[in-house]
Structure 1
Amino acid sequence: MPDLGGISPSLSVTLFLASALVIGVAGTRLTGVSDVLAERTGLGEALIGAVLLGATTSLSGIVTSVSAAALGDAELAVSNAVGGIAAQTVFLAVADAAYRRANLEHAAASPANLAQGALLVTLLAIPVMAFSGPEITLWGVHPATILIVAAYLFGLRIISRAQTKPMWGAVQTPETQNEEEEENNDHENTSTRALWLRFALLAPTIGVAGWVVARTGVNISEQTGLSATFVGGVLTAVATSLPELVTSVAAVRRGALTLAVGGIIGGNAFDTIFLAFSDVAYREGSIYHAVSEQQLYLISLTVMLTGLLLMGLLRREKHGIANIGFESFLILLLYLGSFAFLAFD
């Protein structure tokens, strides 16, 4: 790919915005294709959000973090990964506002979604341990990287069992909607082979756009003087998370409430693997020891946002402030306040 390091500030911003638009459009279409393929191949509903939906809509974020790490920008790589998780949690608050019947966390509570949230908090604890522990690497890779991948795969097994053989369940109310009641007529007349072809074409499109976002994000950081943590945690994280925003709002509008929440939380758990990939791509040692304490701040913020979301799923308030749950209101408040603080740091 061409080097974008010497382009002007205005061109950097133009390419950044254009790539963000490509990610939003292509990511949305890829999500629709993935959803239908998941149904036709018989994958469980929890795995749609945790693996297929989460992985495909996260392609741009993976490329952004890995590209930044390969370029030696550890701050941007880590802040994009963690900032993306925070941004996508905020997107659930936006989706909550789009569902007028009741608070989204009330209507979409399920054992699988709670298990995914618990898995996410566990996965986020691993890089914190790596940041504060000794700098140990094996062929340039920190043991925490291996642990993140292993914990994620083990967590998928727990989520699958929580979906197929739940030991307890949320109380059903008139506002609760079961995913089994929803029908997906998207691509009804399209063959499975044609859907896989569309998948194969859209996936690299998002990947290339993600690389451009990463490279122009580095330029914007250098040319404007904004910290790499702020650029990665806000600009590139939000840009590469556009598919999740559009997907969650669209899922809520068609009544697929559990899928909307599961797609975000499951995608967030998958996004922790960005850190593992970035550590492998970063060739100057452990990426966990090449970043500032601002990354610990971002991870702490993300754990707090996830904890609030889990409390909302457990409390299941029917109506709250401005017709969104208390947790959605607090998530928005904390997110905006925290990144305003980072902008002036």
Structure 2
Amino acid sequence: MTILLLIVGMLCLVKGADWFVDGSSSVARMLKVPSVIIGLTIVALGTSLPEASVSITAGLVGNNELAISNVVGSDIFNTLVVVGASALITPFIMDKDIVRRDLKINLFVSFLLAVFVSINGYLDRWEGLILLVLLVMYIGTLIRSAMQNRTQEENAKTLSAPMSIVYIVVGIAAIILGGNLVVDNATKIAQLLGLSDTLIGLTIVSIGTSLPELMTSIVAARKGESGLSLGNAIGSNILNIIFILGVSSVLSPIAALTENIMDAWILVVVACFTLWIAKKDDQMTRAKGALFVVIYVVYLIYIIFR
């Protein structure tokens, strides 16, 4: 039964991501908004819901020790595996706005998080408020960019407004349901195999809550929506830190384990490496995608054996 539910969860993720991409792309065309902006906002927020659900719920009950592990692990996975897998499937050119603005913001908020947890070993409420202020500023920047860069795509299939909303809502619901089924049942299988709770949290939970980003970006890449694909991954990274950790730490200060501090600085290195790759050449080739995935495998081996 556990394996069956795991398969059902994966199917929900795949189909939910398919509907979500179609609905979001249609909304972008109707509003004449670049798909990259939709990817950085609606899609990024929607695919971050599993992380938000886990971390914010834990914050409400004052038991959010794994919030930082979940977010940092998910952000590293998003950058290396989600972007890498998308490039492996369909090579793409990185959107100039993402390179100029969002990759730099991603590096800045990652660095800020690493500094916060290194100073006193936890995220306090004041630091959470700073992250939420950055959230408001970031959303405002995206809205201003969307208003200044309205576009019109010719001969593109566009769903009706009500149907687009249905696709987005049903897609999000299927993604969240699928993510929960995959995480819960993969965790049960891991426990049966004798893996520790700490290792399960650092691997299965963080990867599992990032499956919506992975499936959405892969589907977007296959449909030629590279802007939505990359925007989803980078937007989710930024929102995971300034929204999820911001809200969670305001609700209840978050303690950081020694491993969390090390992983936070690894995230900074990954964000810096990604920005360097994009600045050097905006072509995201299959070779670069493979390199990103290999780097993640090395990181995964490191956290398993440390």
1-side partners of 2:33 and 2:179: how far apart? 27
Deviations 1:76-129 (A, max 9, x none): 332222222111212211221223xxx53xx22403343111111222233323
- 2:25 matched to which residue of 1? 35
CA drift at 1:215: 5.7
- 2:287 matched to which residue of 1? 324
- 2:260 matched to which residue of 1? 295
* Contact residue 74 and residue 207 of structure 2 kept, 8 A: yes
2-side partners of 1:63 and 1:331: how far apart? 28
Letter in 1 for 2:97: P
Q: What is the SS of the residue equivalent to 1:133? A: helix
Confirm or deny that 1:245 pairs with 2:214: yes
- 1:120 matched to which residue of 2? 106
- 2:68 matched to which residue of 1? 78
* Contact residue 68 and residue 215 of structure 1 kept, 8 A: no
Letter in 2 for 1:292: L
Confirm or deny that 1:92 pairs with 2:69: no
Counterparts of 1:1-345 in structure 2, within 5 Å, are: 11=2, 15=5, 18-69=8-59, 74-89=64-79, 90-99=81-90, 104=92, 107-134=93-120, 142-159=125-142, 184-185=156-157, 188=158, 190-211=159-180, 226-228=195-197, 230-272=199-241, 273-280=243-250, 285-287=252-254, 289=255, 291-316=256-281, 323-325=286-288, 328-345=289-306
Letter in 2 for 1:115: R
Q: Which moved more, 1:258-267 or 1:19-28?
A: 19-28
* Contact residue 230 and residue 343 of structure 1 kept, 8 A: yes
2-side partners of 1:70 and 1:56: how far apart? 21
Deviations 1:231-278 (A, max 9, x none): 234322322323322332333333333332222212221222222243
Gaps of 5+ in 2: none
CA drift at 1:151: 0.9
Deviations 1:135-190 (A, max 9, x none): 899xxx62222211211221234455567669xxxxxxxxxxxx9667642xx3x4
Gaps of 5+ in 1: 1-9, 167-178
* Contact residue 84 and residue 291 of structure 2 kept, 8 A: no
* Contact residue 16 and residue 173 of structure 2 kept, 8 A: no
Q: What is the SS of the residue equivalent to 2:15? A: helix
* Contact residue 46 and residue 160 of structure 1 kept, 8 A: no
* Contact residue 37 and residue 192 of structure 1 kept, 8 A: yes
Aligned residues: 303
* Contact residue 36 and residue 227 of structure 2 kept, 8 A: no
Q: What is the SS of the residue equivalent to 1:324? A: helix
Higher helix content, 1 or 2:
2
Letter in 1 for 2:115: M
2-side partners of 1:319 and 1:147: how far apart? 33
The alignment's C-alpha RMSD in Å is: 3.5
* Contact residue 74 and residue 206 of structure 2 kept, 8 A: yes
| Distance change (3 Å), C-alpha of 1:318 and 1:135 | closer
Letter in 2 for 1:91: V
Letter in 1 for 2:297: L
| Distance change (3 Å), C-alpha of 1:70 and 1:212 | farther
2-side partners of 1:312 and 1:183: how far apart? 34
2-side partners of 1:229 and 1:17: how far apart? 24
Q: What is the SS of the residue equivalent to 2:66? A: helix
| Distance change (3 Å), C-alpha of 1:145 and 1:220 | farther
TM-score by length of 1: 0.72
2-side partners of 1:220 and 1:70: how far apart? 29
| Distance change (3 Å), C-alpha of 1:216 and 1:162 | same
Letter in 2 for 1:278: S
**Larger relative contact order (CA 8 Å, sep ≥ 6):** 2
Letter in 2 for 1:265: I
